[in-house]
Structure 1
Amino acid sequence: MIRLVIALFLASLSLTAAAQSRPPVSERAYAPENIGSLPVSDQIRVIEKEYREQSRGRQIPDDQLDFYLDQIKFSRWTFSKIKNDIAVSLRGNSNGNWNPPPGGNWNPGNVICSSKDHRYNECRTPFRGRARLVENISDTRCVEGRNWGSRQGLVWVDDGCRGRFVDSGNGWGGSGGNWNNGQTFRCESEGGRYRECRKPYSGGNTVLVRQLSSNRCTEGYSWGEKRDIVWVSNGCRGEFRLQGGNNGSGGNWNNGYTVTCSSYNGALRTCAWDRNRGEPRLIERLAGRCSERVDWGYDGRGLWVKNSCSARFGAR
């Protein structure tokens, strides 16, 4: 009787060990051979799992995933073909780099860009204009200006955003003014720390053209300029450009004159204004209501703001 109990106990241990040695079913990549019959979100999920299994836990490169999705859509690739191509791409390749199979004519007009582990990431685009989000792939909602954005030749993502982007067709000009051919520069305060960024050329006034962070970028408080540098702090991350100054091409990018003036904690503040430019006008409201003669104005004191108004002003 004792021997029977011991035998049953050993048999149960053997079965338990065998079950534990097998990978959980949920971790196995499975798809019908006609993977194109699945929704795109399921195609992505299956391809990612297959890549993780074959690469021992690595994440598939964005361009490789983009390639497979296009092959499923346009060339009717099967799941077996994708699994085989993943194996070929990983053979002797330990650094995760990937190139399309030879002999093809793949030339995508879009790009997938992923914020891995909620970290900031930049992806080169096959187009030069402004990007447009056409597919939100991540569970995180991708919101332009908050966790994704673009500049000439690049898309950036952050905070878990993952999406497919195309050329919006709007370029970098538009009726909103001169974007200096897209030659903006970025300066970011990581972890709330102070940082200095060198300007791309000498002279000119720096203006904030897009706030990238959830922390407010307020001139004089979380960003500013001195000589040939722009500084940021307190978590401000933004895209900046220069108005005026020499860009190395023998001329000025923008002869406009602007001043950014900000009221901190609602207090009255005056800012230097060149009286030779005439009276100022509000060009861009950055924070607060900024109603003329109530929250900002121009008088014997100069240009003034209050009630937490923050704005960029130009000559009338």
Structure 2
Amino acid sequence: MKKPLLQSVFVLLLALAAGSAFAQIAPKAYAPENLRTLSVQDQTRVISLEYSEQSRGRRIPDDQLRFYLDQVNRSNWTFSRIKQDIAQSLGGNSGGWNPNPPAHGQTILCESKSGDARRCTPPWRGQSRLVRQLSNSRCEEGATWSSQDGLITVWKGCRGEFAPGLAVGGTIRCESNDGRGRTCRTPWSGHSRLVRQLSNAACIEGRSWQSQQGQVYVGNGCRAEFGPRAGGGGGSSQYSVTCSSEDNRRKTCAYDPRQGRPILLQQISNTSCREGYSWGYAGNQIWVDRGCRGRFGPR
């Protein structure tokens, strides 16, 4: 009877040792600050590993990975910047990641530790925004936290780090994760416009996103960056041009430069319209490609 018992103990010790050894050799998302010194394959590997570590094993969304690779190779984002941005994307921030972190020192911690409501007074005036979730409980604006002029309220276990709200004229990101609908408050009054689509799923106004006074709603997997809708730019706010890439072929459409630089007012296609990738502006023409069909006009 003693021999089988000793064998069992020995096997258990071996398993524990093997588990410890595996933990020590498990890959870590280590990388130099300047990711441009790595190949694109290695950039992809370390960014994916960092996201997996912070999200406890989840896979980084393809569009978010592409966004980071673009920022590394076009805007010289460092590895620390990407790590910080991943933390913000997983922490809430109205459902999306924000590549514009708050200035150093301009944050406040507000915690609902026992599930009860807690009010915090920030050192700034105006609205606030969530920049990092610290709790296991979800911090979702309107559901577990809210902001008023000079006041932050958290409840239902939300513990987060908050910063001043974005100035009028800035942008916010609003994301429909897992296809679920989400409403995001905006730091400006009035309606919003789509600035940049981040998801593979189409963001089409009236179908997968819409705006109201001070709010943006997204659904059906739409993830995008939004800004305030306004006329101006020297032209008529009613002026617009519809341009379509048929059969994924490149097409150019005449545009009146006196109206001001165009933006994407409405995506018509299911295929993503992304500036610099599937549409752009040069001289007095708008070009579209890769199946993008959209309505363009001045800001």
Q: Shorter chain as normaliser: what TM range?
A: 0.3 to 0.5
What is the TM-score of this pair, normalised by structure 2?
0.38
Using structure 1 for the length normalisation, give the TM-score.
0.37
Higher RCO structure (Cα 8 Å, ≥6 apart): 2
Q: Which has the larger radius of gyration?
A: 1
